[in-house]
Structure formats: structure tokens, C-alpha cells
Amino acid sequence: MAPEATLFAIDPYPVGMLGFSAQQVIAKTEVSRIRNGSVEWIRKTGAQAASDLSHRIGQSFDFVFIDGVHTYEGLQSDWLGWSVLVRALGVIALHDSRSTKDRPIDDAGSVRFTREIVLRDSRFEVVETVDSLTVVRRTT
């Protein structure tokens, strides 16, 4: 990460049975190892964060990694929120957006949304697929 870059770590981090979010503790521990740039923690869903950041930052994101709710509606909300915020030649990586030999998930909502909407979105082109990950780049 570039020294002047900002990583937006977005997750609602729901509180577990012990009264805290173990996922948030793990994430903060891992991210604390980053030496370049800064980190802004946003405790919201991806769609909520995209809406908030669109007003504050606009279309200037170089890279977005979407690993949210794997339903059709969940990825739809994230895609609608984030796809407009990625600048030309910016990249979006979508987790669990395709099946693999070892993990056939063709019926998952995120896979169906990717196949039906993302791969047909004329603003983006596929640059790579790895395991269940689809990586697209904004062309316009």
C-alpha cells in the first residue's frame, strides 16, 4: 500500500455471544501490521459504507474487495454502491462469485448476480478469475 493511501476496513462486525466481535479483534490485529498508509475502520455494511463514502470521497477508489453477504440481494447492494465509486482502470474483486471444482456454488446468490449482472456490465471487463474470486477492471 502506498504511504499516502487509505485502507477502508468495512464490516458491521456483529457482537457475538461474549459481548464483542471476535472478527473485529482478529481484523485489527492483522491490519495493525500494515506499515504504509492509514486505516479507517467503518462498522457498517458495505452498501451503507459506500453510500456514506460516496458523499465524502466520490469516484476515486482504486481497489475494492467485496466479501459481503453472499446472497443475490447482498451482492446487488454492494455492487450498486461500489461500482460507481471505482475510478477508470480501478479494480473490484468479488469473493465467492464463481464456482470451483472443489466448491460448486453455482446456485449461490453471489454467483448468480455476478453471472447475470456483473459480467454483463459494460463499464467493466474481467481481468482475472482465481478460485472463487472474479476480478474486474473499470473501463469507463
Angle of the 109-116 helix axis to the 72-82 helix axis, nearest 10: 50
pLDDT category of residue 57 using cuts at 50, 70 and 90: confident
Higher pLDDT, 110 or 33: 110
95 and 34 fall within a common domain = no
15 and 33 fall within a common domain = yes
Write the pLDDT tens digit of every residue in 74-123. 999 999 999 999 999 999 999 999 999 999 999 999 999 999 999 999 99
Q: What is the CATH classification number for the domain harbouring 122? A: 3.40.50.150
Name the domain count of the chain. 2
Domain of residue 102, residue span: 46-138
51 and 79 fall within a common domain = yes
Instruction: Tell me whether residue 81 is exposed, middle or buried, using C-beta atoms within 10 angstroms of its C-beta: 0 to 12, 13 to 18, 19 or more.
Output: buried
Contact 95, 133 (CB under 8 A): yes
